[in-house]
Each structure stands twice: as structure tokens, then as C-alpha cells.
Structure 1
Amino acid sequence: MHISRVDLNLFTVFEAIYTEGSVTRASQKLNLTQPAISHALGRLRQMFDDPLFVRQGHAMVSTPMARNMIEPVRRALRGLEVTLNGLHVFDPASTPKQFNIALRDVLEATILPPLMLRVRQAAPLVDIAASHVERRELEGELAAGTLDGAIDVLLPLSGDIMRTRIYQDSTVVVVRKGHPAIDGKLDLDTYMKQDHILASSRRRGPGLEDFELSRFGLERQIRLRCQHYFAACRVVSETDMLLTMPGRYARIANQQFDNQILPFPLEVPAFDVFLYWHANMDNDPANRWFREQVMESVRE
């Protein structure tokens, strides 16, 4: 089928129905009537000789063909949008826009304050929406354009995803001031004799520091597993347990606690934190401006 015989607007309708799971919500998203959406869906079904979406209760559930189509369609639509947007210069001072970025909660406290300070000064009509996205879904969301960027450690993503290192971080140990065994310095033997806290969003499995310890045949005693570093820092301030965590966030999370922040007692390499974006967005003026704000805010 030659592209000259295809109405490209149909694929915008297809993507909207797939994303919204509803003809009604798709019509609202595209500002079209429900009959217009239904007519477009009928043409798509005829074109591909497949129902594409099957009603189950109040939802439109995609068929296997629709699921195979969605990513190529999203990439094509996004590429066309970038091409059209590339014809214009993005003016942050006067253009309303929302940028969607994925980052884990431990990075929010380090990234968002300086980023929002820059954005509020330069672009009063720009909004930022930060969210947690599962790493296995990251590439698809960047390709679909539902994310403008992501910040995380080094991840095994395809060549379609571009990245740049924005900073390095180190591993530190948080200990309450007045700990009976630790005062200003911490060796490996003392570290291993203490009870530990592991902060992780996962219900089970070791932390990165446990992998490093295992290389030396060591296994620490984890007495508490919790979800957030801030809560763990408070527990540290009121007990003799130790918390191992990223250094940048440790300095922020412990500002209201009188905890000691000490180097991890093993020689471990610093870890890199990267900003990711899709190759289709590399030359997009708005996305390029947003990436610059992220990088400059981290440097400052």
C-alpha cells in the first residue's frame, strides 16, 4: 500500500484510541466528535482487515495486530511532529508547555529544586511533571513521546535512546552522631559488625552495596528493609543501625538530622547518572532547551 493512498490522520485516531482505551476519551483528546472517531476506526479496520479494537465492558481492547502496530505508528507520528516543530524556534519565555520526565524518588530531591529554580526564572509558562516509570517501560515511553526525558543510572537501552552523563555520585554510610562504635571514621571490620538498613523499592534482593561486599565474601546483617532513604535516615538518627546510600541525597536527606556521613569502607567506583532522550527528539528545539536546563541546573 503506497503512502499516498493513506490518510495519515487515521493513525492519529488509532494512537489516541490505543492510549485512551475508549472512543469517547479519544474524541475528547483530539477534539473530534465520537461519530468522526468511529468513522475513522471503521476505515482503519477496512484498511488492515482487522478489528484492531474489541469492546470489553467499557474499554476498547487492542488486538494482536494493533499491539504490533502501535510502536511503529507512535515513532512515525513523533518523527513527523518533531519535523514540524523543528521549523520553529522554541521561546521558553512565552510558550506554554509541559515537559514529562522520569526519575526515581531518590533523584527528585537532588534534581528538581535547582531545575525548577531555573525554569521558573526563564519560562514562567512551562510545567514539569516528574514520575516513576519502570525501567523496562522507559524506552517505549521515550519512543512514544509520553516522556521527554529520563534520569537514571547507566541502563542497557537501544541505539534509539541517546544519553549524556550529568554527574557522578559516590556511596556513603550514614551513622548517628554519638554512635558508640563510630566517631568520624569507619573501617570495614566495624561496618560489618553493625546492624544495617536497606532502603529499596523492591520487596527482596540485595542492594548494590551488597554486590560489592559479596565480591570479598562478605555479607552484612540487614535488620530493616524499607522503601525510602528519608525514613531510613530518621531511623538511623534514633538507633545504632547504619544506612548505606548515594552521597548527594545523603547530604540533603540528613540536613535535619545530626547524622554522620562517612565514606563507604570499600574502594568502589563512583557511579554515573545519565539524562536519556529519544533520538527523534535530539533536534527538537523545546526538548533541546529542556535538556540544557537539566544539565545546567545539575552543574550549578
Structure 2
Amino acid sequence: MHISRVDLNLFTVFEAIYTEGSVTRASQKLNLTQPAISHALGRLRQMFDDPLFVRQGHTMVSTPLARNMIEPVRRALRGLEVTLNGLDQFDPATMPKQFKLGLRDVLEATILPPLIMRVSQQAPLADLAAIHVDRRELEGELAAGTLDAAIDVLLPLSNKVLHKRIDQDSTVVVVRKGHPEIDGALDIATYLKQDHILASSRRKGPGLQDFELSRFGLERRIRLRCQHYFAACRVVSQTNLILTMPGRYARIANQQFDNQILPFPLEVPAFDVFLYWHSNVDNDPANCWLREQIVQSFQAQ
């Protein structure tokens, strides 16, 4: 089928229905009537000889063909959008925009306050959404434009995803005040004697600190595994368990708990924080502006 015979607006409708899971919400997103969305869906179904979406309750569930189509369609729409936007300069003072930033929860408390202050001051019509993303899906989300940028540790991504180191952080140990064995100083022998908390979104497997310890032939006892550092800091404040975590977030999370924050008792390298974006938006004015605000927000801390 030659592209000259295809109405490209149909693919905008396809992406909206897929994302929203509803003809009603797709019509609201695109500011079109429901009959117009239904008519476009009918044309798509005829074009591909496939229902594409099947209603289950109140949700439109995609067929296998639709699931295979969505990423190429998103990439194509994103490329066209970038091309069109690149024809004009992005004026943050006057242009409405929603920026979507892939972000681990440990970085939210660190970067969001200064970043949203900068965005609000310079781009009053812009919104910011911080989104958790599976690292396995990160490259696809950046390529499709469902993420504008992401912040994470160094990841094994293709050369289509560009990156820049924007921060370094140290590893610290959090211990309650009044701990019977630790008061203002911590050596490796005392560290290894303690029961530890591991904060991780993964269900199993070691933490980064465990890899560092293993390099020295050392191992610690994990007594509690939980999902979030904030919860772990509260547990520390009420028990003799200790927590190893990034230093910048430790200082934020422990303000209300008044825990001790001590250096990690081994010489380990600081871990780097990187900003990621796709090569297809490298010269996009809006994306360039967002990346600059992120960099400046880290530098201001």
C-alpha cells in the first residue's frame, strides 16, 4: 500500500485509542467527536483487515496486530512531530507543553523541587510528569516520545540513545541515634556485624553495595527487604537495623528522623547519574530546553 493512499490522521487516532484504552477518552484527547473517532477506527479496521481493538467491559483491548504496530507508529508520529516543531523555536514563556521525564523514585525528591521551580518560572504553560519506567522499555519509550528524557545510572543502551553525566553521589550508611554499637563512626567489621535493610524495587537479587562488598570477599546479612528508602529510613529510626543508600537522598529523607548519616566504610567509587534522550530529539528546541533545565537543576544543588 503506497503512503499517498493513506490518511495519516488515522494513525494519530490509532495511537490515541491504544494509549487511552477508550474511544471516549481518545476523542477527548484529540478534541474530536466520538463518531469521528469511531469512523476513523472503522477505516483502520478495513485498511488492515483486523479489528485492532476489542471491547472488554469499559476498555478497548488491542489485538496482536495492534500491539505489533504501536511502536513503529509512535516512532513515525514522533519523528513527524519533531520535524514540524523543529521549524520553529520553542518559546517557553508562551508555548503550552507537557514534558514527560523517566525517573526512579530515589531521584524524585532530589531533582523535582528545583526542576519544577525552574519550569514554572520560565514556562508557565508547561506541565511536568515524572514517570516510573521499566529499564527494559526505556529506549523504546524515548524513541516513541512517550518519554522526553530520563535520569538514571549508566545503562546499556544503543547509540540511538544519547546520554550525559549530570551528577555524582556518594554511598552512605544510615543508623539510628542511640544505636548500641555505632555512635559517630563505623568501620567495616562493625558494619558487617549488623542486620541490614535493602531497599529495592526488585523482588530478589543483591543491591549495588553487595556487588562492591563481594569484590572484597565480604557479605552482609539482609534482615529486611523493602521497596522504598523512605520506609527503610523510618525502620532504621525505630530499630537497630542499618541502611546503605545514596547520600543526597539520605540527607533529604532523614530530616524528620534525625538518624546518623555515616560514610560507607569501604573505598568505593561515587556512582554517576546520567541524563538520557533519544537522538531523534537531539536538536528539538523544546527537548533541548528541558535538558538544560535538568542540568541546571542538578548544578544548583
Is the pair's TM-score, using the shorter chain for normalization, greater than 0.5? yes
Return the offset for 1:157: 2.2
Distance 1:56 1:237, change over 3 A: closer
Return the offset for 1:289: 0.5
Deviations 1:148-181 (A, max 9, x none): 1111111222333222111111211112334333
**Matched residue type, 1:149:** A
Q: Which residue number in structure 2 is paired with residue 7 of structure 1?
A: 7
Distance 1:24 1:253, change over 3 A: closer
Q: Which residue number in structure 1 is paired with residue 161 of structure 2?
A: 161
Q: Which residue number in structure 2 is paired with residue 95 of structure 1?
A: 95
Q: Which residue number in structure 2 is paired with residue 259 of structure 1?
A: 259
Tell me, in whole angstroms, the C-alpha distance in 2 between the residues paired with 1:178 and 1:285. 53
Q: Which residue number in structure 2 is paired with residue 290 of structure 1?
A: 290
Q: Secondary structure at the match of 1:70?
A: helix
Tell me, in whole angstroms, the C-alpha distance in 2 between the residues paired with 1:126 and 1:49. 40
The answer to which of 54-63 and 272-281 deviates more is: 54-63
Distance 1:231 1:63, change over 3 A: closer
What is the aligned residue count? 300
Q: Which residue number in structure 1 is paired with residue 133 of structure 2?
A: 133
When the two chains are superposed, the root-mean-square deviation of aligned CA atoms in Å is 1.9
**Matched residue type, 2:221:** Q
**Matched residue type, 2:282:** D
In the alignment, is residue 48 of structure 1 matched against residue 48 of structure 2?
A: yes
Distance 1:269 1:86, change over 3 A: same
Q: Secondary structure at the match of 1:25?
A: helix
- Report % sequence identity: 84
**Matched residue type, 2:21:** G
In the alignment, is residue 183 of structure 1 matched against residue 183 of structure 2?
A: yes
Q: Secondary structure at the match of 2:143?
A: helix
**Matched residue type, 1:212:** E
| TM-score normalised by structure 2 residue count | 0.92
**Matched residue type, 2:210:** D
Give the alignment of 1:57-68 within 5 angstroms.
Answer: 57-68=57-68
Give the alignment of 1:73-112 within 5 angstroms.
Answer: 73-112=73-112
**Matched residue type, 1:232:** A
**Matched residue type, 1:137:** E
Q: Which residue number in structure 1 is paired with residue 208 of structure 2?
A: 208
Q: Secondary structure at the match of 1:245?
A: strand
**Matched residue type, 2:220:** R
Distance 1:24 1:119, change over 3 A: closer
Distance 1:185 1:16, change over 3 A: same
Q: Which residue number in structure 1 is paired with residue 274 of structure 2?
A: 274
The answer to which of 109-118 and 172-181 deviates more is: 172-181
The answer to which of 117-126 and 8-17 deviates more is: 117-126
In the alignment, is residue 234 of structure 1 matched against residue 234 of structure 2?
A: yes
Q: Which residue number in structure 1 is paired with residue 19 of structure 2?
A: 19
Q: Which residue number in structure 1 is paired with residue 115 of structure 2?
A: 115
Tell me, in whole angstroms, the C-alpha distance in 2 between the residues paired with 1:88 and 1:58. 40
Return the offset for 1:18: 1.7
**Matched residue type, 2:213:** L
**Matched residue type, 1:83:** T
Distance 1:179 1:283, change over 3 A: same
Distance 1:36 1:125, change over 3 A: closer
Tell me, in whole angstroms, the C-alpha distance in 1 between the residues paired with 2:119 and 2:15. 31
**Matched residue type, 1:136:** R
Distance 1:126 1:3, change over 3 A: same
Tell me, in whole angstroms, the C-alpha distance in 2 between the residues paired with 1:50 and 1:203. 38
Show structure 1 runs of 5+ residues with no match. none
Q: Secondary structure at the match of 1:205?
A: coil
Deviations 1:120-147 (A, max 9, x none): 2222222212122222232232222222
**Matched residue type, 1:29:** K
The answer to which of 202-211 and 50-59 deviates more is: 50-59
Show structure 2 runs of 5+ residues with no match. none
